[in-house]
Structure 1
């Protein structure tokens, strides 16, 4: 290859390249060696002005086009005239590495540094340098490359920041947080299911030792500082060694209910329980259990949050939860629903399907059996929807007896499948509550080309009300038939009114 070809390769290289003269640096090295300097790294760190002195002795001989482009320079002369704007701030610290390599006789060096474009934009660079053959003694020809790795470093910094943020939230949360491994418990539940057990509650009645065995299989991975404070533990080791003093008395009964929730695949649930601090005092806590995302199949990472409701000391974190969820049904609330609709309106992802659901008979239940019975119906419909709806879909309670499911990116078939799943879960749920069956009116709509989200909601709402009218018409017919028969007892008539509408 002739010289012109070599020059073309240098100039057209896709990475920033510099040819520099370090002979002045080599001369300075000789001065320091005569003065007895041997540990150049320590020598330079002791006084960064020595690094600056070396930097001032470097001469830029040639740069390629990529260098001018990367540093936003009009020409080599323009770049060299403003070189102090490129190499500044913490550059002296990173410059020590390459100077130390050259001082110790190495012909190549590698490292990371921060440079700046002439407009002031920060650049994270990967620096590589090599002494060109034939110039090892004088160091008057070095080839350096500066690879722009800003995007990679930004991603690394974001990852580090996010991790530190998550760790900070965990460690400094005002709520007691536990990270635990429930994988063995999941295996035990699946083993029981494989034996043909259907009614898990009856199974635990007959085999209470199974509950105790499951409790013994919980592995606590870590806890936060608020946990130590809540239970008056001096350190994590003491806390973990005395778990039996914390979870005692009624805890087995509460844990049994938690196992029932898990058996029903409710991976998020909450209940009030009583624990005990290590000084023997009671701690009334709201326990919130959640399998962490990505571990739904093995339960190897779960989070248990214990909010001290004895004095409401941990109310802040609980209120944050309530800001997006309906505590009765454990679904998202109307505020979240409105925000999510606005977000979907802004996003280009289409189609969007929406299901609007109304719980039939809630007012009648409240009026005849009381609000506790009505709340029980709402909790059950929440269990059904929580069991049917997973991300990226969201289920929300948007009114007293009205619910909505938002399905971004879902077509009509996916929406219909969701409706079928809900109906199947309703049937299963009603098997356990035959005296108070759930009945719903459900409307579905899938966005058309260019249609606003609000318009989709209106269509789903209209479809739901059509089903609602059919439900009431059927109920009125049944009422008329039952009122016309003297053979029906009044209590049977009331029970008939509470039966779900025919499909």
Structure 2
């Protein structure tokens, strides 16, 4: 049949010159196959096809290509229609079979047209993703011997979608599997609150927070956590994201209030990228020292709807730093303060007081003899015992330090000579109890004290305390010698 138009073009001209791939096909073989299966009692075509993959191939082979247009030949890199028909097995192959299932179901259900996506291959081997639209032509509804099919090459679109999906998955994997705790949060409500404060004419935000501390808590409650990654769950001891998000009040508490107040102050001043050290808590109550970095995404700088926070657990580092600091100011054997701390504290007190400042010099009698006769382990045990006694006897703001092998010094700010004597008596009283508890080696001490007032040389005060201690030591050994002679007599 030829349809003449005013332009002089007929149907065949329009078919051949159409700017889209057109196929005139004969589906009558498929119609007969469907009729046969219906007669055999098939009602669920999808399940029927899945039972035997060969049935899907039978459907595909039942199609007959009657004619294609020039656009189709160009698209599939075929020199002519005969070549294309002879090599259709190269065009329709691979994953194309699975993609024809939707059109088969549409025809099975009595529809005269359908639309689906499929995969074909050009004769040069290039994969083509195609959008298929087909319709049984009027007058052929009973036998499907004329079906007009159009193919649109959507390869670029599909590849773009796949690339986008891969990029999104890549970004998601980077987020989920990052070795650092990552939080995605929405600060838009916080920004609105800050804007409201500005609108009220507030310019000194720091003072505003001091006057209205509840504003910090209100802002903390307005933060919405959008997502966290796996490392976050592991760090905070949560089994799932809902468990963590429902218990944020247990994570952010205590010292976090002051840290967040500093964050708000920086945000007020326009600092959209921040880093600081904070304290959080795991769900089991364990304290976590965190290095936090906050960054409001540049694309959301106007509304703060997307904020990325990274949290690095520095608890082990903090413990190591605290231990090193402890070692720098404490004597390992006795756990008392060491000479370095003593000198630092003495300098501070000599400048600032409070006055009067008393000092008690302490030395253990007979330690060398214990080391010589019983070994240094025995001597160290006695030093540890003395450390326990002095730690219990001396309370803040006074301090006691081991400044030499068996030499100790007590600093007593705001204490006169009477207070220094009371301290010596307290030490001797606790030492007596300790000697009763450890009957093996009795600890004997030599002690002396001195008192200095504002303007006095602390070095001179310490020297007088030492002299008093040495005098006490001399009396101790003189009495021991007298006892030895009395025993010999």
Residue number in structure 1 paired with 2:188: 183
What are the equivalent positions in structure 2 for 1:223-238 lying under 5 Å apart? 223-238=228-243
Deviation sequence 1:202-224 (CA, Å, 0-9, x none): 32233322222212222222222
Greater C-alpha Rg:
2
Deviation sequence 1:110-153 (CA, Å, 0-9, x none): 11111111111111111111111111122111110111111111
The whole-number CA distance in structure 1 between the counterparts of 2:250 and 2:256 is: 11
The whole-number CA distance in structure 1 between the counterparts of 2:308 and 2:55 is: 54
**Aligned counterpart for 1:47 among listed residues 43, 52, 62:** 52
Q: Does residue 107 in structure 1 map to residue 112 in structure 2? A: yes
Residue number in structure 2 paired with 1:270: 275
Deviation sequence 1:458-489 (CA, Å, 0-9, x none): xxxxxxxxxxxxxxxxxxxxxxxxxxxxxxxx
Deviation, 1:77, is 0.8
Residue number in structure 1 paired with 2:439: none
**Aligned counterpart for 1:195 among listed residues 187, 200, 225:** 200
Residue number in structure 1 paired with 2:175: 170
Q: Does residue 2 in structure 1 map to residue 7 in structure 2? A: no
| DSSP-derived class of the 1:134 partner | coil
What are the equivalent positions in structure 2 for 1:118-267 lying under 5 Å apart? 118-267=123-272
The whole-number CA distance in structure 2 between the counterparts of 1:28 and 1:184 is: 64
Deviation, 1:91, is 1.0
| DSSP-derived class of the 2:290 partner | strand
Deviation sequence 1:16-38 (CA, Å, 0-9, x none): 00001112222222222222212
Residue number in structure 1 paired with 2:69: 64
Deviation sequence 1:40-89 (CA, Å, 0-9, x none): 22212222211211222221110001111111111111111111111111
The whole-number CA distance in structure 2 between the counterparts of 1:2 and 1:232 is: 79
The whole-number CA distance in structure 2 between the counterparts of 1:21 and 1:216 is: 67
- The answer to whether the Cα contact below 8 Å between 1:48 and 1:92 also exists between their aligned partners in 2 is no
- The answer to whether the Cα contact below 8 Å between 1:22 and 1:139 also exists between their aligned partners in 2 is yes
| DSSP-derived class of the 1:198 partner | coil
Deviation sequence 1:323-355 (CA, Å, 0-9, x none): xxxxxxxxxxxxxxxxxxxxxxxxxxxxxxxxx
The whole-number CA distance in structure 1 between the counterparts of 2:137 and 2:182 is: 59
When the two structures are superposed, what TM-score results if normalisation uses the length of structure 1? Answer: 0.60
Residue number in structure 2 paired with 1:377: none
When the two structures are superposed, what TM-score results if normalisation uses the length of structure 2? Answer: 0.61
Deviation, 1:105, is 2.2
**Aligned counterpart for 2:19 among listed residues 14, 20, 40:** 14
The whole-number CA distance in structure 1 between the counterparts of 2:25 and 2:122 is: 19
The whole-number CA distance in structure 2 between the counterparts of 1:306 and 1:41 is: 51
What are the equivalent positions in structure 2 for 1:388-399 lying under 5 Å apart? none
The whole-number CA distance in structure 2 between the counterparts of 1:54 and 1:249 is: 71
| DSSP-derived class of the 1:273 partner | strand
Residue number in structure 2 paired with 1:419: none
Deviation, 1:311, is 4.4
| DSSP-derived class of the 1:300 partner | coil
The whole-number CA distance in structure 2 between the counterparts of 1:93 and 1:45 is: 10
The whole-number CA distance in structure 2 between the counterparts of 1:30 and 1:281 is: 72
The whole-number CA distance in structure 2 between the counterparts of 1:298 and 1:209 is: 23
- The answer to whether the Cα contact below 8 Å between 1:48 and 1:93 also exists between their aligned partners in 2 is no
Residue number in structure 1 paired with 2:90: 85
| DSSP-derived class of the 1:61 partner | strand
The whole-number CA distance in structure 1 between the counterparts of 2:252 and 2:62 is: 71
Of 152-161 and 195-204, more deviation after overlay is shown by 195-204
| DSSP-derived class of the 2:299 partner | coil
User: Where in structure 2 are there 5+ consecutive unaligned residues?
Assistant: 318-489
The 1:133/1:241 distance shift into structure 2, 3 A limit, reads closer
Residue number in structure 2 paired with 1:358: none
The 1:104/1:244 distance shift into structure 2, 3 A limit, reads closer
What's the C-alpha RMSD, in Å, of the aligned pairs?
1.7
| DSSP-derived class of the 2:300 partner | coil
Deviation sequence 1:260-316 (CA, Å, 0-9, x none): 11111111111111111112222111111111242111112212111112348xxxx
The 1:103/1:235 distance shift into structure 2, 3 A limit, reads closer
Deviation sequence 1:234-261 (CA, Å, 0-9, x none): 2223322322221222111111111111
